[in-house]
Structure 1
């Protein structure tokens, strides 16, 4: 059985799908002052294996969730704490648990490029969310497809709140538009994604931002374009 508190775990790296990882605006849910319910998450963040064993042996729920539905396994996956991930799984941690933004420990590990954690989670049955444009055969994968593991969001900042962010791709700064997991089950949004992708492929002009590729075979789906450091036209005209 999972338990949940009103306390929010805020240290270090946050959910890969959170709209703003460096600041969380209140959504009306109350945060508590008692951090006892999330101490497992804190020591998972620190990599304290003995402390984790002591807490779990005392009866603390390995699948305990904070106010954002995040678990100790989410935290360990974000931080690349492979030994902690292994220990939590041994104690029965749910490998495909989703936080309030529908991010799983595997999605977090992929986002932060924690490759050993990715292998460990996949070994224990974790699977990335299937994108609606996923194809069955390799020959059907679009030429523009980008491997999401090549996108480095380590020092990412948002260009437009909740929409575009800066990332590194093959050593080059790029702009990435990410589509949340809600797109997967919304046919209208999937259609809009397809239309936007088709439009980007048709437009090639020196005065238009260059389309570099997209992630369509896994979730979250993304569109990758060149990064323009001087901002967008609207901001320029207003200035």
Structure 2
């Protein structure tokens, strides 16, 4: 009897696994504008027409956002719910309007599509946004920020990063695009998120100091680190020796273990060398920065949250499940960490011979960068391969990564400990 029950349970698990796999497939084909493959899947299993991902987004949401008319038509023919709402309460029409996909807008309206959600022309009936939090102790008066000798030190899809002075102290100021600063929901989200971020304290996390939320443009103030970012450092230095790469990795892992700590897990989702900063020019202390920002700025198209910052550079370090629009969790950061470790030891970015998007495609297809560097000990190879495993459940946590790095460091031959930061 128990054997039969076990087989039944196993069969149910297999069915569930197959269902999850087909859901990912239809979302992927919708994303790729492959109407023929979408139709084939729906002929095999019509219920997939309203399959949803982790963010409750259906294939019709994906097709509407990208303006794929043939895919949208096919989905509607198979009975797609034209007014399904994702976790941000956006309907497919709201997505199409936000991205100005006129052909799809007409199609959806013809089939009874309504425009609700953060992107839509009106909110869902009877929805009242929660009140904005009161002014907090982190609210900075913009008149206290001195931009007279400011220099631009970075740029992103959200705006620009400037070096400025606040009460005489050098700071980094992220100045949000005016177009984003007008949206009440963005301001609300911005305040709630900053409320969380300013409470974080860790030696390997860039310190948030405050924000400007009651005047335009929105600004976010963090400590200024003189050493620049890891991307620039590796560009100048080339490959690091084993001990240096381990020390750098441990700093990153400490910061990430803190962010991933229960119960308030913060998933970075855009971990890459540009977002790892050197405290000083001695390069003996790293901090992780720019976490929370892609989540924080829910720009007009909700998919921008989903695709992270929108910078193509991010693709190089992107976990396959994010690229494929599958359900993901904090293990996406572990995958990115493996790619950074690879870059430190090899002296070149992962899939360096490919454009960032093509590199992400190769990773999603199961390929991984080729390990050649002498600095890669067998233990580091094993750790890297586990961290970039296709199955996110096989990737270790940052706590485990730290323990293993400490052990690897202890077992390094003594000559590895000299000239830590020589290339």
Query: What interval of TM-score do these two structures reach, taking the shorter chain for normalisation?
Result: 0.3 to 0.5
Q: Which has the higher helix share?
A: 2
Larger RCO (CA within 8 A; separation ≥ 6): 1
User: Quick check: which has more Rg, 1 or 2?
Assistant: 2
TM-score for the superposition, normalised by structure 1: 0.46
